[in-house]
């Protein structure tokens, strides 16, 4: 690829990176004389027509995003089976490189990066674009500290394709939301989850879930709870830990609902961290307590004889106290060992299938019991409620978690709408707890106007409540179309009979002088052969006979200047406008005598050298 020119303008200079889906090159745009980054799809994706179609659509949508924290997309193209996108070239390191070299990062530094990522996501989410692949590899940090989020739109295109590059998928699997891992509905909150995993890794130096394969990691996202950060980093700020753990909640409803909400909470936690002046590196230091010597009491020479007895009694008392404390501690240990019941956080299984939900609860050491099955909009067999709710902390020997399972939507037969008026049909649809669907209108020779003539679904079919029922309403019989007969050249009375024979009406009749015989049709509207409805009117123009002939002999006084000029005479009458005389003359030719003839209303215009000299009416 090095040295190749794409789109007649992008010259590939060097390879600068790559991932499971594409290889990234540094290139020069000859048209604008600037350096750009070009992401070229790997061959296994270029040959997938469905993926390419989604890739182009999503990349073009992402190109509409304009934000300081988003890598701009300049162009999308294809050439010789090579599919590529042209992006802004950004100098800097990825957040993944930074984590590998310096993790765990200082909370204040992570918060600053996270806030800029939130700004980028807020812009994308307002434009109805979900990133779907937020991970440290897609976060670039410039030398000035500016955060740039890249690969918008590409992850969405990849969701429908088989990812064969195991390493690439494994990298993304660490940051998948549970709903992505299950192949479920994905929205803005999935990006919040992935951002939470990113924060967890930056703050601890490790991802919350790891495994030998992408499938193993994905299952952990669905089933397991992450280890609290404070267990990995002692003394970690509780407020920041709470924010990160909320981001990676299993249920989307329990996460931050908007990137702006997350940014606001990060800003609050940042102030608390500045007050505490917390640094991860301080946790690695071991506190050293200097050794000390217990001072030695010197016996006084004149010590009373009762002193030794007092010290012996004090020592015996202290020994008894210590012995009691030891037995008390031992009792507590034994009691804790044999009588303490560990606690567990109840996972949220709403939205899972019945068997999967029970298995998830059993993996946590909890029992489950289906206490009710009810009709609902959710698919049959899906858990729609639970008691206690997800996130509740209970003892491991808690009574079975009560589950309510959907029986699916309630179904009933579709009523017959054919033959009803439109309003009666609508009332019947709604009274049977269905929804009014689309309405169409068609001509019908069988049903009068306003009557329902067809419906979808058909009568009697069992469908869920709330199903839309569409219907077709009659426009009445379709009016027949005929071709207008040829009436020009016929006598007016003959034309009238022709119209009657064709179920047409005589419209407006205008008389106009012409060379045709009197009462002869000389024009019609619509024209002969035009398609019209039965009963339409046809307008006629009828000859009033040849116009009267008028003759005259014009005497034209010519101008004294110039020495030569052209005289032109134009006549306008019932036959139209025409030139009847044109010749060159001198002033001494005056007066000029010219015979004129016209029909009907006659106007005469005299021109001398293209200038109107006079105008007369005969």
Instruction: Output the domain CATH number for residue 363.
Output: 3.30.10.20
pLDDT at residue 58, rounded to an integer: 63
**Residue holding tokens 């004389």?**
33
Residue 139: strand pairing partners: 149
Distance CA 362, CA 401 (A): 10
pLDDT tens digits for range 103-139:
899 999 999 999 999 999 999 899 888 888 899 999 9
Instruction: Find the range with the poorest average confidence among 261-275, 298-312, 337-351, 370-384.
Output: 298-312
The answer to whether the CB of 425 falls within 8 A of the CB of 471 is yes
Cβ contacts of residue 506 below 8 Å, gap of 6+? 495, 496, 499, 537, 538, 540
Distance CA 99, CA 129 (A): 27
Residue 318, in any domain of the structure:
no
Cβ contacts of residue 160 below 8 Å, gap of 6+? 50, 51, 54
Nearest CA to 617 out of 554, 562, 558, 560 is that of 554
Backbone angles phi, psi at 383, to 5 degrees: -70, 125
Residue 345, in any domain of the structure:
no
Nearest CA to 194 out of 132, 106, 113 is that of 132
Nearest CA to 244 out of 351, 98, 236 is that of 236
Pair 61, 76 in one domain:
yes
Residue 371, in any domain of the structure:
yes
Q: Which domain holds residue 504?
A: 481-543
Q: Compute CA 473 distance to the chain's CA centroid, rounded to the nearest angstrom.
A: 35
Q: Strand, coil or helix: what is 254?
A: helix
Highest-confidence segment of 258-267, 287-296, 390-399, 406-415: 258-267
pLDDT tens digits for range 141-188:
999 999 999 887 554 544 433 333 333 343 478 999 998 888 778 889
The answer to whether the CB of 570 falls within 8 A of the CB of 554 is no
pLDDT at residue 337, rounded to an integer: 52
Residue 28, in any domain of the structure:
yes
pLDDT at residue 154, rounded to an integer: 55
Distance CA 570, CA 394 (A): 110
Pair 426, 367 in one domain:
no
Residue 594: strand pairing partners: 554
Q: What is the CATH number of the domain that holds 601?
A: 2.60.40.2560
The answer to whether the CB of 533 falls within 8 A of the CB of 480 is yes
Backbone angles phi, psi at 525, to 5 degrees: -145, 115
Pair 382, 235 in one domain:
no
Residue that terminates a domain, selected from 44, 73, 88: 88
Pair 132, 191 in one domain:
yes
Helix, strand, coil percent values for the chain (each to nearest 5): 30, 30, 40
pLDDT tens digits for range 557-589:
899 889 899 999 999 987 789 999 999 999 999
Distance CA 236, CA 605 (A): 105
Check pLDDT > 90 for residue 212: no
Check pLDDT > 70 for residue 315: no
Q: Angle at which helices 95-102 and 188-204 pack, to 10 degrees?
A: 30
The answer to whether the CB of 598 falls within 8 A of the CB of 548 is no
Listed in sequence order, the DSSP H helices in 127-258 are: 154-158, 166-173, 178-182, 188-204, 214-223, 229-232, 238-247
Residue 430, in any domain of the structure:
yes
When pLDDT is cut at 50, 70 and 90, the band that residue 313 belongs to is low
pLDDT tens digits for range 62-88:
777 889 999 988 888 888 888 889 999
Residue 240, in any domain of the structure:
yes
Pair 493, 441 in one domain:
no
DSSP 8-class letter at 421: B
Residue that terminates a domain, selected from 514, 543, 572: 543
Distance CA 144, CA 183 (A): 38
* C-alpha pair distances (Å), 302 with each of 306, 307, 312: 12, 11, 19
Distance CA 618, CA 616 (A): 7
Average pLDDT over residues 403-421: 88
Residue 241, in any domain of the structure:
yes
Pair 503, 574 in one domain:
no
Distance CA 192, CA 174 (A): 14
**Residue holding tokens 């060159």?**
584
Check pLDDT > 80 for residue 100: yes
Pair 566, 536 in one domain:
no
Q: What is the CATH number of the domain that holds 36?
A: 3.30.200.20
pLDDT tens digits for range 10-41:
999 999 887 667 889 999 999 888 999 998 88
Pair 232, 143 in one domain:
yes
Pair 491, 415 in one domain:
no
Cβ contacts of residue 255 below 8 Å, gap of 6+? 189, 192, 193, 196, 246, 247, 248, 249
Q: Percentage of the chain surpassing pLDDT 70?
A: 85
Structural domain total, the chain: 6
When pLDDT is cut at 50, 70 and 90, the band that residue 90 belongs to is very high
Pair 364, 237 in one domain:
no
pLDDT tens digits for range 492-545:
999 999 999 999 999 999 998 887 888 999 999 999 989 888 889 999 999 988
Pair 123, 45 in one domain:
no
Q: Angle at which helices 238-247 and 259-276 pack, to 10 degrees?
A: 160
Backbone angles phi, psi at 148, to 5 degrees: -125, 120
Provide the token pair at 145. 């500290």
- Active-site pick, 48, 75, 80, 133: 133
Q: Are strands 576-585 and 611-617 parallel, antiparallel or unpaired?
A: unpaired
pLDDT tens digits for range 131-140:
888 999 999 9
> Mean pLDDT, the chain, as a whole number?
83
Residue that terminates a domain, selected from 451, 474, 497: 474
Residue 426, in any domain of the structure:
yes
pLDDT at residue 291, rounded to an integer: 30
Whether residue 133 lies in the annotated active site: yes
Provide the token pair at 200. 């967890």
Pair 156, 253 in one domain:
yes
The answer to whether the CB of 129 falls within 8 A of the CB of 152 is yes
pLDDT tens digits for range 235-284:
899 999 999 999 999 999 999 999 999 999 999 998 877 554 455 554 44
Residue 382: strand pairing partners: 353
Distance CA 94, CA 142 (A): 9
């Amino acid at each position: 690829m090095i040295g190749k020119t794409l789109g007649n303008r992008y010259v590939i200079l060097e390879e600068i990176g790559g991932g499971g889906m594409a290889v990234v090159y540094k290139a020069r745009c000859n048209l604008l004389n600037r350096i750009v980054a070009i992401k070229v799809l790997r061959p296994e994706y270029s040959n997938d027509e469905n993926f390419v179609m989604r890739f182009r659509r999503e990349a073009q949508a992402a190109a509409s995003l304009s934000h300081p924290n988003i890598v701009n997309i300049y162009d999308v193209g294809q050439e010789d089976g090579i599919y590529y996108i042209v992006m802004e070239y950004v100098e800097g390191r990825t957040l993944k490189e930074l984590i590998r070299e310096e993790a765990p990062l200082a909370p204040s530094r992570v918060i600053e990066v996270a806030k800029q990522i939130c700004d980028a996501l807020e812009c994308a989410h307002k434009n109805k674009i979900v990133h779907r692949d937020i991970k440290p590899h897609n976060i670039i940090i410039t030398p000035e500290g500016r955060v740039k989020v890249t690969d918008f739109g590409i992850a969405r295109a990849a969701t429908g394709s088989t990812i064969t590059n195991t390493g690439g998928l494994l990298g993304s699997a660490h940051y998948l939301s549970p709903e992505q891992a299950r192949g479920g509905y994905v929205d803005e909150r999935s990006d919040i989850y992935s951002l939470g995993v990113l924060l967890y890794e930056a703050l601890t130096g490790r991802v919350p879930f790891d495994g030998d394969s992408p499938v193993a990691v994905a299952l952990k996202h669905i089933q397991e709870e992450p280890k609290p950060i404070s267990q990995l980093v002692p003394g970690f700020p509780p407020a920041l830990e709470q924010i990160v753990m909320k981001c990676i909640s299993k249920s989307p409803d329990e996460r931050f609902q908007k990137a702006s909400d997350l940014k606001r909470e990060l800003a609050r936690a940042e102030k608390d961290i500045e007050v505490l002046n917390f640094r991860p590196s301080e946790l690695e230091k071991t506190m050293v307590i200097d050794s000390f010597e217990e001072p030695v009491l010197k016996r006084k020479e004149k010590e009373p004889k009762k002193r030794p007895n007092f010290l012996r009694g004090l020592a015996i008392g202290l020994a008894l106290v210590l012995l009691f404390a030891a037995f008390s501690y031992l009792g507590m240990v034994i009691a804790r060992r044999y009588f303490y019941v560990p606690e567990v956080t109840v996972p949220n299984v709403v939205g899972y299938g019945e068997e999967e939900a029970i298995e998830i609860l059993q993996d946590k050491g909890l029992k489950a019991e289906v206490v009710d099955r009810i009709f609902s909009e959710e698919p049959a067999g899906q858990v729609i409620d639970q008691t206690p709710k997800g996130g509740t902390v209970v003892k491991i020997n808690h009574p079975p978690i009560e589950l309510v399972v959907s029986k699916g939507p309630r179904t009933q037969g579709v009523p017959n709408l054919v033959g009803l008026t439109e309003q009666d049909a609508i009332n019947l649809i709604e009274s049977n707890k269905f929804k009014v669907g689309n309405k169409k209108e068609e001509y019908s020779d069988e049903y009068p106007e306003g009557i329902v003539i067809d419906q979808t679904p058909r009568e009697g079919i069992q469908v869920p409540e709330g199903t839309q029922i569409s219907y077709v309403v009659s426009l009445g019989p379709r009016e027949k179309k005929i071709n207008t007969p040829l009436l020009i050249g016929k006598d007016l009375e003959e034309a009238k009979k022709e119209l009657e024979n064709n179920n047409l009406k005589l419209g407006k009749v205008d008389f106009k002088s012409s060379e045709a015989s009197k009462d002869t049709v000389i024009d019609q509207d619509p024209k002969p052969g035009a398609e019209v409805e039965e009963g339409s009117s046809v307008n006629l123009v009828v000859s009033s006979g040849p116009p009267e002939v008028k003759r005259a002999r014009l005497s034209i006084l010519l101008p004294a200047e110039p020495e030569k000029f052209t005289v032109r005479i134009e006549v306008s009458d019932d036959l139209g406008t025409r030139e009847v005389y044109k010749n060159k003359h001198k002033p001494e030719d005056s007066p000029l005598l010219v015979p004129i003839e016209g029909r009907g209303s006659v106007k005469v215009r005299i021109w001398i050298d293209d200038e109107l000299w006079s105008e007369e009416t005969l």
